[in-house]
Structure 1
Amino acid sequence: MTQKLLILLFFLVTFLGKSQNLEWKTNITDAINISNEERKPLLILFTAATAPESLEKEVFRTLDFEKWSRKNVILLKLDLSDAAISNDAKEQNIKLKNAFGVVDLPEVCYANAAIRKGKTAFDLLGRLPYSSNGVKAFIADSNLILNPE
């Protein structure tokens, strides 16, 4: 009986743990296509291996952010230190970072994008650098960017 309870507990923990995983896109083209299909802006996280993980821990790994992001944005993570991506993709990511005026990592940018005749055009909606105010403040600041009045 105890063994059955432990097995059940293991599966429940595994299931609940997986349900809180966010799906971050890493390919710009794929993210843009989904963004346009779902009519949601992109939340672009510019990061690198050397960037502090505070934003990840305090915001992105929370249930509040997961619920909010699923309704409001398409998540795109551009790791500028990722050795697994091609040099062309790395160069494209750096150009986008510079075009958006990102200096410190990690930083979040909100944008709409479209691909027409093989050219990608971005409309920057706003930037949100890390602050230690927590997930509620991050969501409130994000909503101000996404829904200006």
Structure 2
Amino acid sequence: MTKKLLILLFFLGSFMMQAQSLAWRTNMTDAIAISNDQKKPMLILFTASGVPENLQNEIFKTPDFAVWSRDNVVLVKLDLSDMNASDSDREQNVKLKNAFGVQDLPEVCFAMASVRKNKTTFSALGKIAYKPGGAKAWIAESNSILHPVE
């Protein structure tokens, strides 16, 4: 009996750990390819060091978000303060931030992208910042952006 309980706890524990480990892409080229392959929009998180952690802690680190994101979006994190990023990547990230009209960090943009003749075209779906209310409210607002009622 004790052995079965330990095995069950082991599997539940590993499931919970897996549910909370999100696969954030940091390379936009890879993210676009995955997004197009999976036919899912990208959730692009624009962030930097020193910005409030509310969005990360109250939304992105929840099991609800892990399940929702796996089924609905390709996660992309663009850290505008990343000193390990190449100059071209940093420049690209700042251009994307400006193109999407991101003012305050952190902020999330939902977008699709297509590449034709080595030219990338983005189709912005909407933006969302942190709002108190928890993961379920944030996910509901995100769903209204991704699946608007016509």
TM-score, normalised via structure 2 length: 0.89
Gap change, CA 1:71 and 1:93, over 3 Å in 2: same
Question: Aligned with 2:132: secondary structure?
Answer: coil
| Per-residue deviation, 1:117 | 1.1
The residue type paired with residue 81 of structure 2 is S
| Per-residue deviation, 1:19 | 3.8
- Tell me what 1:127 maps to: 127
Tell which deviates more after alignment, 8-17 or 38-47.
8-17
- Give ranges in structure 1 of 5+ residues lacking alignment: none
- Tell me what 1:80 maps to: 80
- Tell me what 2:56 maps to: 56
Q: Is 1:71 the equivalent of 2:71?
A: yes
Question: Aligned with 1:52: secondary structure?
Answer: coil
Moved over 6 A (4+): 8-12
| Per-residue deviation, 1:11 | 8.5
- Tell me what 1:116 maps to: 116
d(CA) in 2 for partners of 1:77, 1:126: 16
Question: Aligned with 1:69: secondary structure?
Answer: helix
Residue deviations 1:8-43 (CA, integer Å, cap 9, x gap): 978874664244200000000000000000000000
The residue type paired with residue 101 of structure 1 is G
Gap change, CA 1:143 and 1:16, over 3 Å in 2: closer
Count of paired positions: 146
Identity %: 60
- Tell me what 2:37 maps to: 37
Q: Is 1:89 the equivalent of 2:109?
A: no
| Per-residue deviation, 1:116 | 1.2
User: Could you say what the CA RMSD is over the residues aligned between the two structures, in angstroms?
Assistant: 2.0
Residue deviations 1:30-65 (CA, integer Å, cap 9, x gap): 000000000000000000011111100000000000
d(CA) in 1 for partners of 2:134, 2:60: 10
- Give ranges in structure 2 of 5+ residues lacking alignment: none
Tell which deviates more after alignment, 44-53 or 16-25.
16-25
d(CA) in 1 for partners of 2:11, 2:140: 35
Equivalent residues in 2 for 1:11-26, closer than 5 Å: 13=13, 16-26=16-26
Gap change, CA 1:19 and 1:63, over 3 Å in 2: closer
